[in-house]
């Protein structure tokens, strides 16, 4: 065990240390803003007079609970605000996730270390371990709570069950999706030990803590905690289909290497017989259903990703059906598989039904059961230890390679916004104010340089000002501003790496299907495009 945990530690350092300098990216900037605010107002759950997506928000309440940004503020207080320092402080979370996965794999597989390294090698975990968002910290606490609970139930150890309750509380206050633990964990106890209050009482602590948190939100803001920025459930056909396909494509594309995912799950119950049908169906959807919006290379990736995910889901569903048949016949079912299969499928369903869109970060809780089931399938399919290890190592190598490429692509995208913000003053010396449109790290670094955020309703830009707009994030401006804008420069930023995870044209949206269905694409498109407009004369506010 000591040797295995040492390998996990070393591997976590290998996948994180080279990326410590990654600039703030995507929602990192929001967590940074909340962390800065917490240095002065640690109990405050909102930002005052905030701007987001072109709107002026007097009281901005985020969809993330406070643990991640409070931890980030502690790092700032102790060591400063440089990206390298902040990322170094967040290495603890992939480490907790890796250690927890190691113990889960010891419980559910015979090759714990291989399963854990495969988990850490996935593009999903590797890319998200380079961010300051709350999603990987939530996963770390989720897996730690699950491991403690499972061992606590198996050993009937009250101290482990109490620890699980504490860890589940941290998970919930790091990401609201972790409320699913209040159903998942009792489900394991019910499968293994039947109904017993001692297995459920420790979970009253996170339930009570969240109840108090909800009451605080009601008293302070007159509203429940902000679970989503979208009003109501989006159940229109196109929205549900987009989340369904997006979830499958991300599961197939950024978990285990998709070709090996599809092939391995074809072994169970002769599912190789349906593999050609699934492959043909996926290709038909890609080339005929979405062909008008997908370049040929993206259609090919769509086919491979969707095939891998569908084969995995088909294998899990078929085995759950077989285990249900055993139970009906009063034969002992494989409750381990039932637990892992339901964990995976039920959470996928929650994403499709409850969450506003599909995103890589949303499928993080699916990854652990998928990896554990994958390793169990390997152990069933390859009984010779040397063959099993060879196949496992090959899977880890190709998966880790794809993860490294995607991590570099994400790093380069984050770097583009910082570089452009720092170089803008050298490119332009306007007579007046520099305004900008955009979010993510671009907003953070532009504001750091003293440039001003331009909202949709503002008519403040005057003659001689300039407005900068990036291609991946935009919103409409007021008509009075639009009429006075003249394009003076369009800059395409290109990189030699032909892989991108955010690209409208090629339909790639790692962080959300607003940008594209696929988690990444192979393309020669620019990484980002910046447009600079000169503001001319016209009717301006007095």
pLDDT at 425 (0 to 100): 86
With 50 as the cut, is the pLDDT of residue 250 above it?
A: yes
With 90 as the cut, is the pLDDT of residue 531 above it?
A: yes
pLDDT at 513 (0 to 100): 85
pLDDT at 180 (0 to 100): 95
pLDDT at 542 (0 to 100): 42
With 90 as the cut, is the pLDDT of residue 129 above it?
A: yes
Average pLDDT along the chain:
92
Residue with tokens 């034969």: 331
What are residue 202's phi and psi, to 5 degrees? -60, -25
340 Cβ partners below 8 Å, 6+ apart?
Answer: 108, 369, 372, 373
240 burial via Cβ count (<10 Å: 0-12, 13-18, 19+): middle
CA distance 255 to 246: 13
Query: Cα separations (Å) of 252 from 70, 288, 306, 310, 315?
Result: 34, 20, 6, 8, 14
- pLDDT tens for 450-497 read 999 999 999 999 999 999 999 998 889 999 999 999 999 999 999 889
CA distance 369 to 338: 11
pLDDT at 242 (0 to 100): 82
- pLDDT tens for 23-51 read 999 999 999 999 999 999 988 899 999 99
Element (H, E) at 102: helix 92-108
Nearest alpha carbon to residue 32 among 16, 47, 11: 47
120 Cβ partners below 8 Å, 6+ apart?
Answer: 8, 11, 12, 15, 94, 97, 98, 101, 126
- pLDDT tens for 351-391 read 888 888 889 999 999 999 999 999 999 999 888 999 999 99
With 80 as the cut, is the pLDDT of residue 229 above it?
A: no
Percent of the chain with pLDDT over 70: 97
pTM over 0.85: yes
Q: Can you give 298-342 as a three-state secondary structure string?
A: HHHHHHHHHHHHHHHHHHHHHHHHHHHHHHHCCCCCCHHHHHHHH
Percent of the chain with pLDDT over 90: 78
CB atoms inside a 10 Å sphere around CB 338: 19
With 90 as the cut, is the pLDDT of residue 179 above it?
A: yes
- pLDDT tens for 390-443 read 999 999 999 999 999 999 999 999 999 999 999 998 888 777 899 999 999 999
CA distance 99 to 339: 20
With 80 as the cut, is the pLDDT of residue 235 above it?
A: no
**CB of 179 closer than 8 Å to CB of 138:** no
pLDDT at 231 (0 to 100): 57
pLDDT at 15 (0 to 100): 97
pLDDT at 193 (0 to 100): 84
- pLDDT tens for 275-318 read 999 999 999 999 988 888 888 889 999 999 999 999 999 999 99
Side-chain-side CA neighbours of 245 within 13 Å: the count stands at: 21
């Amino acid at each position: 065990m000591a040797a295995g945990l040492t390998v996990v530690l070393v591997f976590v350092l290998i996948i994180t240390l080279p990326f410590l300098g990654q600039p703030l990216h995507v929602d990192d900037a929001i967590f940074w803003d909340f962390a800065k605010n917490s240095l002065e107002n640690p109990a405050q759950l909102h930002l005052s007079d905030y701007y987001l997506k072109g709107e002026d928000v007097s009281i901005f309440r985020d969809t993330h609970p406070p643990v991640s940004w409070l931890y980030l503020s502690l790092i700032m207080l102790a060591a400063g605000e440089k990206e390298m320092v902040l990322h170094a402080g967040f290495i603890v979370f992939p480490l907790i996730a890796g250690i927890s996965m190691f113990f889960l794999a010891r419980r559910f597989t015979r090759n714990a270390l291989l399963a854990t390294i495969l988990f850490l090698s996935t593009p999903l975990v590797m890319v998200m371990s380079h961010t300051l968002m709350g999603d990987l910290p939530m996963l770390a606490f989720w897996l730690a709570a699950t491991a403690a609970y499972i061992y606590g139930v198996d050993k009937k150890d009250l101290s482990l069950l109490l620890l699980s309750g504490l860890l589940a509380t941290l998970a919930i206050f790091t990401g609201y999706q972790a409320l699913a633990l209040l159903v998942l964990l009792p489900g394991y106890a019910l499968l293994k030990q039947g109904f017993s209050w001692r297995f459920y009482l420790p979970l009253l602590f996170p339930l009570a803590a969240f109840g108090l948190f909800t009451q605080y939100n009601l008293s302070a803001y007159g509203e429940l905690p902000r679970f989503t920025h979208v009003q109501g459930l989006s159940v229109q056909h196109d929205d549900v289909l987009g989340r369904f396909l997006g979830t499958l494509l991300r599961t197939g594309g950024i978990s285990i290497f998709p070709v090996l995912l599809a092939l391995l799950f074809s072994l169970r119950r002769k599912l190789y017989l349906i593999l050609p049908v699934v492959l043909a169906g996926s290709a038909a959807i890609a080339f005929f259903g979405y062909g008008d919006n997908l370049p040929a290379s993206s259609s090919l990736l769509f086919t491979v990703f969707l095939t891998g995910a569908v084969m995995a889901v088909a294998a899990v569903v078929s085995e759950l059906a077989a285990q249900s048949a055993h139970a009906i016949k009063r034969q002992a079912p494989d409750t381990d598989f039932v637990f892992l299969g339901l964990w995976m499928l039920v959470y996928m369903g929650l994403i499709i039904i409850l969450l506003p869109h599909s995103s890589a970060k949303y499928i993080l809780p699916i990854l652990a059961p998928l990896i554990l089931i994958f390793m169990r399938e390997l152990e069933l399919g390859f009984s010779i230890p040397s063959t099993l290890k060879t196949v496992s190592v090959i899977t880890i190598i190709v998966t880790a390679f794809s993860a490294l490429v995607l991590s570099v692509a994400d790093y380069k995208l984050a770097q583009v916004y910082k570089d452009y913000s720092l170089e803008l003053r050298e490119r332009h010396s306007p007579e007046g104010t520099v305004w900008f449109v955009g979010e993510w790290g671009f907003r953070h670094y532009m504001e750091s340089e003293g440039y001003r955020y331009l909202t949709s309703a503002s008519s403040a830009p005057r003659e001689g000002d300039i407005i900068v707009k990036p291609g991946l994030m935009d919103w409409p401006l007021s008509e009075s501003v639009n009429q006075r804008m003249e394009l003076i420069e369009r800059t395409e930023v290109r990189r030699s790496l032909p892989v991108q995870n955010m690209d409208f044209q090629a339909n790639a949206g790692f962080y959300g299907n607003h940008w594209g269905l696929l988690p990444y694409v192979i393309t020669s498109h620019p990484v980002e495009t910046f447009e600079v407009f000169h503001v001319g004369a016209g009717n301006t506010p007095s």
